[in-house]
Amino acid sequence: MRFLKGHGTENDFVILPDLEDETALSAALVAKICDRRAGIGADGVLRVARTKESHEVAHLAATAEWFMDYRNADGSVAEMCGNGVRVFARYLIDAGLTEASEFALATRGGLRTIRVEPNGDITADMGKPVVDGESVATVGGQEYTGIRVDMGNPHLACAIGDPVVQLDLNHQPGFDTGIFPTGVNIELFNPVGVSRAVMRVFERGSGETRSCGTGAVATAVAAAHLSGDTTGTWTIEVPGGTLTVILDAETSYLSGPAAIVASGELMLAE
Ligand SMILES: N[C@@H](CCC[C@H](N)C(=O)O)C(=O)O
């Protein structure tokens, strides 16, 4: 099976073009592929499938030709991945599978419109974030209150007083499993200056990653909320780079670099 490797602000993915929809991707195979020692290594897998052939999203086929079938590093399925859609778009463009500079992609979280910027960055329309009250994450015995944000996938974005660089994110943070029965992506951030935040993330199904696009939007929403705003342009610094988030009354946008860095033949099987 052919694969490519790509990343968006070091949130890295193995891309599996499955244009004829022939690959049954088990959780075990995904976990093997994402293993950083015994596999290729990645935060997740992006299977490239035709929307019309994919029963989960076939109803979106009139608008989006391609479906991003996203899997976390542990093999679990997620609704959306913000850096994933941007890297997926970069693959489609580089592979000549689209010539448009603006096009829609199907995800389990619904349609996402992509725009290629003049400087090569890729912007995704991430939809309207849904804010749904507060909850608490526990990291290293310390409790942090955050804001629940639904980006198609679940987030808990916590502004904290301790510097995020000092956190130990080697272990799963605690969270309320009653509120998040299918797990949650947890962002810890320090607001810095005007409309800027430094963020780290512990992703559901992947552990700590160096960036998370849906998490960056959730962080911008939470940071804006704290400053009494709901709109504006936010710079979110993550360990792997910098993302820009625009919040307006109707939707949210995520912009940043996305690159394909390698391709090859996968020898792994179940
Ligand atoms: N890295 C992603 C989010 C991937 C999915 C997430 N781990 C989940 O299970 O919801 C992003 O860039 O948004």
What residues does ligand 1 touch, defined as CB less than 6 Å away?
11, 44, 72, 78, 81-84, 153, 185, 203-206, 209, 212-215
**DSSP letters of the chain?**
-EEEEEEETTEEEEEEE-TT------HHHHHHHH-TTTS---SEEEEEEEGGG-TTTGGGTTT-SEEEEEEETTS-B-S--HHHHHHHHHHHHHTTS---SEEEEEETTEEEEEEE-TTS-EEEE----EEEEEEEEEETTEEEEEEEEESSSEEEEEE-SS-GGG---SSPPB--TTT-TT--EEEEEEE-SSSEEEEEEEETTTEEES--HHHHHHHHHHHHHHTT-S-EEEEEEETTEEEEEEE-SS-EEEEE--EEEEEEE-----
Residue 270 has pLDDT above 80, yes or no: no
Ligand 1 atom with the shortest distance to the CA of 8: 12
212 catalytically annotated = yes
Closest CA to ligand 1's atom 3: 81
Ligand 1 atom with the shortest distance to the CA of 209: 1
pLDDT score at 21? 81
Residues of the chain with pLDDT > 70, as a percent, come to: 100
Dump pLDDT digits (tens) for 8-51. Answer: 999 999 999 999 888 889 999 999 999 999 999 999 999 999 99
Domains of the chain: 2-125+257-265 (3.10.310.10), 130-250 (3.10.310.10)
Residue 170 marked in a binding site = no
Residues of the chain with pLDDT > 90, as a percent, come to: 96
Q: Is the ipTM of this complex over 0.85?
A: yes
